Amino acid sequence: MEGFNSKVMDVIGNVTEKAVGNEGFAVVGQRGGVESVYVLAQCWRTMGEKGCRDCLEVAGKNLRGCLPGKQGRAMLAGCYMRYSTEKFFDVQEDELNGNGEPHFHIVFLSHGSLIFILVSCIFSWTMGGFTVLAVMVAGMVLSVLSLFGFTKAYQRLQKKTAMTSAPVGTSKSQHKNRLNFKYEMLEKATDFFNASRKLGQGGAGSVFKGTLPDGSNIAVKRLFFNTRQWADNFFTEVNLISGIQHKNLVRLLGCSIEGPESLLVYEYVPNKSLDKIIFGCSEQVLSWQQRFDIICGIAEGLVYLHDSCSEKIIHRDIKSSNILLDEDLTPKIADFGLAGCVDPDKSHHSTGIAGTLGYMAPEYLVRGQLTDKADVYAFGVLVLEIVCGRKNHVFMEGSSSILNSVYQNYRANTNTKSVDAILKSEYPEREASNVLQIGLLCTQASLALRPSMSEVVQMLTDKECSIPSPK
């Protein structure tokens, strides 16, 4: 066991050095001995050598916890590393040299290689083995290869420069902040992510309060892992979302993707999240009118995302902890870390599963089919939580879930039994009953039966609008 552990750590150290010197990517295989070991390491293309090394060293240390397991993975905001006793990368066995390290086929030829090949051709010609034509052909081939290598290198450099220096530039936002915040500045703004500045923590990362040099407050989300896989896609989506402004959406100011971890920068909302007030130990009790206004505000925010943006945006993680409240208890939908942008002409969008159990629509959870109706389902669950005053995964005696208990009361025409008991009788029964019915409509198993968010807003605000019966 000790021999195997030592071998794995040696190969991890080896692949780290190679990746840092090879534009952030390397694979190393070491066969024989106690056990064969294969390791892959990769950094974001926007990271410099120091950032790549620092990140891979942390990944290597984290992989110690996987030993003596036969495989392990470490995914950080800026890099990814994996080891296994089975070869998992696409390098043929005959490409591994005697030291167990793969040969890389690189298109860029060094000056020494070019001179060596050219001299070899000339030498062969002088010995009578080639004609002048052979030398000319060899020279042409080398020229083409050199030009191709230079072109590819220049394109890569141009793309990287554009990635790291592009301004916010969104005509909608009209603000002067830059998307690419400096990592060092955000470190200082949060007092190096001091625990005293921590505002909360979710599935994707921890949020810290920060203060910029001009005195303005921000919220900095420190991501646990790379939810975008590639920096260019991440940057593009942040660029799109940063231009969105609505009174019921937390404004995304930008991000940092050049440091050892990825950070999202949001506007600072001073009040608590909805879950802390409804389910937490807060002494504050929301009245019916406050709950109703919060439900309407969330619905309007989702209508904006689904129907009023240049591209349909599906949030994918609507839940009580992602609803922030300002000083006036106006709800603001937060955490666009899982947001997906969908072409308006596309009826659905298949993707990897991401979200929170209990709020995820059946078709998305089972088949990975993502539409705006997935947000409608999560909204419906949230509505029932707000009205009933209990979490969807907390079971009560005699009922399987909040959805089931509310539906049973609906069928028995006893909707008011589902309303939070802390409100006593201080609420309009008909309005509360209608809101519960809308929540059930939104959580129907068939996405075709769920209303759109614009229809939901109409049902909530138009007293004369008829509300269909949930199936």
Catalytic residues: 317
Q: Which residues contact 170 (CB under 8 A, 6 or more apart)?
A: 239, 242, 243
Q: Cα angle at 216 between 272 and 249, to 5 degrees?
A: 45
| DSSP 8-state code for residue 334 | -
C-alpha triplet 121, 124, 126: angle, nearest 5°: 110
Crossing angle of helices 453-461 and 429-442, in 10° steps, is 170
Cα–Cα distance for residue pair 442/379, rounded to 1 Å? 7
Say if residues 65 and 15 touch (Cβ distance below 8 Å). no
Helices 2-20, 49-63: inter-axial angle, 10-degree rounding = 170
Give the distance from CA 324 to its chain's centroid.
Answer: 19
CB 396 within 8 A of CB 374: no
Distance CA 386, CA 439 (A): 10
Give the whole-angstrom CA distance, residue 308 versus residue 247: 13
